[in-house]
Amino acid sequence: MSGNIFQTQAVGLWRPPSSVQATDARQFIRNFSFHNCKLGNQGFQRLLLQVFGYMGHGKSSFINTCKIAWDNSAYNNYTKASGSYWGDTMDRRTYQLTHNITLVDNRGCAAMKSHEKGEIFAQLANLMPLDMKVDWCRGFKLADRIVRAEPLVQPSDFISPIFIYSAGYSINPHEREELREFLETCTKITGVGVIVVLTNKTNGNVERAEAMFRDLGIKHVFSLENYTPQNQSRSMEVNNTVIQLLYEVAQNALFNVNYPRDPQKDMTRRKTFLLNYIYNKELEDHKQISEAQKALEVDQMERDMREKREEAEKQKQKDRMEHEERMKQLEAKYERQMCQNQLKHKQSMKELHRGRGRKPRK
């Protein structure tokens, strides 16, 4: 699968805004509406910030942070972000920020395995209903769920993908390449460049994580320390980072919708793309499984043949030994027979001599 599924429109990149005052940015975000676009809203109603990423990297905490920074309020655990390292969001909930901007807390995954990727892409493409429990399933079951969810999903949402990654985390080169492919597919699906938010800024290695994401082709990387139950004190730096991010996301959405778009067609394209993706992954998986099965069968056959060869060799050796034993016995018997014959011969000779020396009877 290559190429952008939204080839007809300009996507992704946008110029970083000249440093806007936080108050101007807030005003812009508050008034954000697709009605302000050159061509009107073209069917888009809501800007959906799809917050996604690995489990336990701070997705739910980031949404709390956005809400707190936007409201300028005290700490509140809106998303019930877990106190545990691994996080625990099992459903896909929406959190409204402004009249037209909503955040989605998507279910995370432990690793970018193929079936988990399919599920994440389905969430990201907004092909799964919002505010419902996420069942983790794969292959044609997932395709089936996508088709059944059709009446429940909204094409009027403009998707902005926000990937959350803890700066305290490090991945190996193989995982990095998987992440590259994953992020590229996310951009293909949504038609919008992925924004990365690095959490755990204080203790993590932000420079390393940022360099990695730049290398993975990500143009926009933000970093912050989330508000958490352990870190509730308000920070101007955190609030400003959130406002700057929301401002850029909103700017980018308007930029995209200033070009001719059709939300219904976009959704159909996303669905087609994902169903193809699932189909190809299933084929690949089946191929891998049947190749693995074939390799197992060949292995078993070779083992059987080796065992048979060894058995035949053992039998041959046994036969040889038995033959040798028989020959030895025959030789011994022959020897004995010879000795007995010689003895008999000697005795009969003796008797003969003795008979010749005797006087004949009258």
Binding residue (CB under 5 A) for Mg ion from 33, 41, 60, 190: 60
Measured from the CB atom, the residue of 58 and 193 that comes closer to ligand GDP is 58
Residues lying near ligand GDP in the complex (CB under 6 A) are found at 55-61, 81-85, 87, 89, 108, 199-200, 203, 225-226, 228
**Tell me, what DSSP letter sits at residue 37?**
S
**DSSP-assigned beta bridge partners for residue 328:** none
DSSP readout, 184-251? HHHHHHHSSPPEEEEE-TTTS-HHHHHHHHHHTT--EEEE-PPPBTTB-S--HHHHHHHHHHHHHHHH
Contact predicate 181/155, CB 8 Å: no
Q: Shortest approach of ligand GDP to residue 20 CB, angstroms? A: 25
Q: Which stretch binds Mg ion (CB under 5 A): 83-91, 164-172, 310-318, 323-331?
A: 83-91
Q: Shortest approach of ligand GDP to residue 148 CB, angstroms? A: 27
The angle at the Cα of 93, spanning 159 to 254, to the nearest 5 degrees, equals: 20
Measured from the CB atom, the residue of 5 and 130 that comes closer to ligand GDP is 130
Q: Which stretch binds Mg ion (CB under 5 A): 52-60, 94-102, 117-125, 214-222?
A: 52-60
Query: Which of ligand GDP, Mg ion, none does 57 bind, CB closer than 5 to 8 A by kind?
Result: ligand GDP
Q: Which stretch binds Mg ion (CB under 5 A): 87-95, 137-145, 168-176, 192-200?
A: 87-95
Which own/partner contact pairs does 336-343 have at CB distance under 8 Å and 24+ positions apart? none
**Amino acid in the structure at residue 11:** V
Nearest residue to 13 via CA among 191, 279, 226: 191
Binding mask 218-237 toward Mg ion (x if CB under 5 A, else -) reads: --------------------
| Contacts with Mg ion, residue ranges (CB under 5 A) | 59-60, 87, 89
